[in-house]
Amino acid sequence: MAVVKAVGADGTKRKRPARALSQALPQTPPVADPIQLGDLSDFLGYSLKRAQLRIFDDFIGCVASLQLTPAQFSVLMLVDANPDRNQSEIASTLGILRPNFVALMDELESRDLCVRVRSSNDRRSHNLRLTEKGRAVLARARKLIETRHEIRLRELLGDDNRALLLAMLGKIAREF
């Protein structure tokens, strides 16, 4: 039997038998049955959020080498399609709150992907443009997303269901 030296509360050294490893470590509880979602899975909002989380995880994995979030990619896409639009319009279109958008733009500017240019019409607002580096990063991101992320979604859903899902989500976004 192994012996461990221990110091008692009174400072005296004692020898005690070592406990078996299984006694020394906390016991892992047995695996429980999976949590039942019950009626929660019947709520559209819950199902959309769960799907969004899975899609974002896959998206982030696809563009990990570029260190882009879905929101940053969306901003780059809109600025590319709408150069010199003001940041309020871009933020509003994406549904990003102003303080969050300012922080997002600070990050994109610090990485030299996008620039804010003071508007000639309204000196209080800024128009957005991609830099050369921003256009290059966006092109690489699009290629990764189109050849990995979107392919997986097409394989999962099929072209017809993908088109139907996009139409349904668009209807919710426009009319709800």
Mean pLDDT of the chain: 88
Q: Give percent of the chain with pLDDT exceeding 70.
A: 85
Domain span at residue 154 reads 70-161
Domain assignment present for 45 = no
**Would you state the pLDDT for residue 2?**
52
Kindly state the percentage of the chain with pLDDT values over 90.
75
How many independent structural domains does the chain possess? 1
In a domain, 29, yes or no: no
Give domain status of residue 26, yes or no. no
CA distance to 166, 167, 168, 169, 176, per residue, from 173 (Å): 10, 10, 9, 6, 6
Does residue 75 sit within a domain? yes
Is residue 131 assigned to a domain?
A: yes
Q: Which residue has the higher pLDDT, 2 or 87?
A: 87
Written as six digits, the tokens of 99 are 């303080």
Residue 22 lies in a domain: no
**pTM score, two decimals?**
0.77
Q: What is the CATH number of the domain that holds 135?
A: 1.10.10.10
- Compute the average pLDDT of residues 2-29: 57
Grade residue 32 by pLDDT with cuts at 50, 70 and 90. confident
**What pLDDT is attached to residue 15?**
60
What's the rounded Cα separation, in Å, for the pair 57 and 63? 10
Please report whether residue 74 resides in a domain. yes
- Residue 84 in any domain: the answer is yes
CA 94/CA 147 separation, integer angstroms: 24
Q: Model confidence over 136-154: pLDDT tens digits?
A: 999 999 999 999 999 999 9
**Count of C-beta atoms within a 10 Å radius of residue 88:** 14
Q: What is the pLDDT of residues 51-101, one digit of tens each?
A: 999 999 999 999 999 999 999 999 999 999 999 999 999 999 999 999 999
CA 33 to chain centre: 29
Q: Is the pLDDT of residue 123 over 80?
A: no
